[in-house]
Chains A and B, each alone.
Chain A
Amino acid sequence: MVTAAGAGLKTLERELVGAIQAGLPLAPRPYAEIADRLGVDEPTVRARVRDLLEAGVIKRLGVVVRHHELGFVSNAMVVWDVPDDRVEAIGRALGEAEGVTLCYRRPRRPPHWPYNLFCMIHGRERESVRAHIEALRAQTPGLRDVAHAVLFSGRRFKQCGARYGEPGLARASVEGHDHG
């Protein structure tokens, strides 16, 4: 299915995205199995996967773990109200900091929501996550004195992969913590 954001992808690439988004087959020749499904040859599939990696459409290819099931049950979304003229520099520094699993700029929605920079910290318990956040505030220039809030996660009402409207596809493009 053509999407606004995906319109730049060629037809085969879109089909390939659909075929691999739920994961590669756990079989000795996974790319050959994908090729059979798409009716193309195996080298073509591998070449297109490399294209998607090179273009950055695929951020990474590998084992996608579920943090919660691995014992990282404490997950905090930390949101910051950073001056607009500094968000680029601060965002870059925060995004590169150890243990920060996401770092995104999003719009403020005044008066209820003043925060424009979001990051995610996972830990095995809350105390270590809090200590980590304090360390980030201390070491990241510009973060110490800005308003922020820490939103620990509670119940998971639903967690499954994203669906992009490709018929017959089940799940799983966006990682568990990868907030579009």
Chain B
Amino acid sequence: MTHGTPDISVLAEDAEPSTAERGEFTALERRLLNDFQRDFPVSERPYAELADRLGVSEAEVLGALGDLTRRGVVSRVGPVFRPRTIGVSTLAAMAVPGTRLEAVARVVSEFEEVNHNYEREHEFNLWFVVTAPSEARLAEVLTEIEARTRLPVLDLPLEHAFHIDLGFRLW
């Protein structure tokens, strides 16, 4: 899902904090968001299993998850892969003069290999993740970005992951 889909109201209100605190989620939605970030059943009817645990119907679970996905709150129900197991990737950073930031960000975002591209408050103010099928293509993308922007790119590939991803407690 590309960020910024215009019909999603929560995305349009980036400046407004605490969608969750405003009570915009039903009890069922809150439990789906908080309690099922891992250990999704690998069974014939996994959503029916969730429904049993929640005391609702399978159709209600599917309906709620579909709705949360359309609202952009849920990215997907599915896997989070360990980085660099099914492709190669790196975290890259650039120190961009403030007046050029938007234009440089636009060039970077044009690459389909770039999947996150953020401003951060630092001398290195543009941070993006590049993911590619091969090391060769990854290096090529970084070189092309340097050539097109005439700015150096810091290449900061992951060397070791210490964190075990258990999901994120929301409430």
Contact = CB atoms under 8 A, between A and B. Distances in A.
A124 interface: yes
B115 A4 contact: no
Q: What is the interface of chain A mostly: helix, strand, loop, or mixed?
A: mixed
A1 B133 contact: yes
A103 B40 CA distance: 24
A135 interface: no
Interface residues of B, number: 98
A149 B122 contact: yes
Nearest to A154: B119
B20 interface: yes
A165 B132 contact: yes
Contact of B86 (A6, A77, A113): A6
Given A106-B158, A174-B131, A31 B73 contact: no
A159 B116 contact: yes
Contact of A63 (B65, B119, B121, B163): B65
Interface of B: 1-3, 10-11, 14, 17-22, 32-33, 36-40, 42-48, 58, 62, 65-66, 69, 71-91, 93, 95, 105-106, 108-109, 112-122, 124-135, 137, 154-168, 170
The 4 nearest A-B residue pairs measured at CB = A180-B89, A23-B76, A95-B162, A165-B133
